Amino acid sequence: MLRSMSPFKTLTRLALPAAIALGLSACAPTPFKADVSRFTVPLPAPQGQTFAVVAEDPRLAGGLEFATYANEVAGELTKLGYARAASPESADMLVRFDYRVDNGRERVRTDLGGGGFGAGFGAGRWGPWGPWGGWGGGPYGAWGLGFNDPFLGGPNVRSFTVYTSAIDLKIDRRVDGQRLFEGKAEAVSRSNRLPALVPNLVDALFTGFPGNSGETLRITIRDDEKTVRPAD
């Protein structure tokens, strides 16, 4: 004699594979994307010319945070064939560097047609696989990804904060102050942590350095793999 399966158990069995897939996709590393603009005069091939990284903002000079990011810039220039000078006074080139992140702004996203299964399972009102709320989006979750009710459908509305971070890099010939290079890398992300953002921005800025003057590119960094295309 066959035993009937309760609707809740049926829903749980349907929800489990979808939730596992969601969890695996959530664990995948998010690629870093930056828009890079560069302006340059024809640069001589690197032949050991010396450089010093200095703070564009005098308030940053001498700080340990600035020194950390300056080392990132110096590492990229060294790879290209330049040499770090003992002091700015003895350098052939002065590399003026600045970094920043804004205070963030709220974004609201509405996903229409959220009804059905596979998009809204998580720690909800009825337990781990309940229908009220998305991934951590029920009464016990701080961030909502799911929709209101998988039986009724309807849009999923959620808000989150995004931050804009940027670096600026200028290279001047020290002896006469001639500007040789100007570059900027800018990114929008969910994080405002400069120690994580600045190395990625530096990496993006030096991808294909010095590049074509006046060109703006979208650089995508994913697991040491880079994609370069014209910015939107």
* 76 located within any domain: yes
pLDDT 10s digits, 149-200: 455 555 677 888 999 999 999 999 999 999 999 999 999 999 899 999 999 9
Q: Give how far the C-alpha of residue 133 lies from the chain's centroid of Cα atoms, to the nearest Å.
A: 28
Specify the pLDDT at position 75: 97
Alpha-carbon span 170 to 99, nearest angstrom: 12
Q: Is 67 left (phi over 0), alpha (psi -120 to 50) or beta?
A: alpha
Listed in sequence order, the residues at least 6 apart from 159 whose beta carbon sits closer than 8 Å to its beta carbon are: 106, 107, 108, 109
- Tally of domains within the chain: 1
Torsion of CA 46, 51, 55, 56, to 10 degrees: -60
State the angle between helix axes of 194-205 and 64-80 in degrees (0 to 180), rounded to the nearest 10: 20
Q: What are the phi and psi torsion angles at 34 (to 5°)?
A: -140, 145
Specify the pLDDT at position 20: 47
Asked if omega into 210 is within 30° of 0 (cis), the reply is yes
Alpha-carbon span 50 to 77, nearest angstrom: 10
* 77 located within any domain: yes
Residue 53 token pair: 């990284």
Q: What are the phi and psi torsion angles at 188 (to 5°)?
A: -115, 125
Specify the pLDDT at position 49: 93
> Could you list the residue range(s) of the whole structural domain that residue 82 is in?
32-104+161-230
* 49 located within any domain: yes
Q: What are the phi and psi torsion angles at 219 (to 5°)?
A: -105, 125
* 97 located within any domain: yes
* 13 located within any domain: no
Alpha-carbon span 198 to 207, nearest angstrom: 14
* 205 located within any domain: yes
* Positions in the chain whose pLDDT score sits under 70: 1-29, 111-155, 223-226, 228, 231
* 73 located within any domain: yes
CATH number of residue 47's parent domain: 3.30.160.670
Specify the pLDDT at position 106: 87
* 94 located within any domain: yes
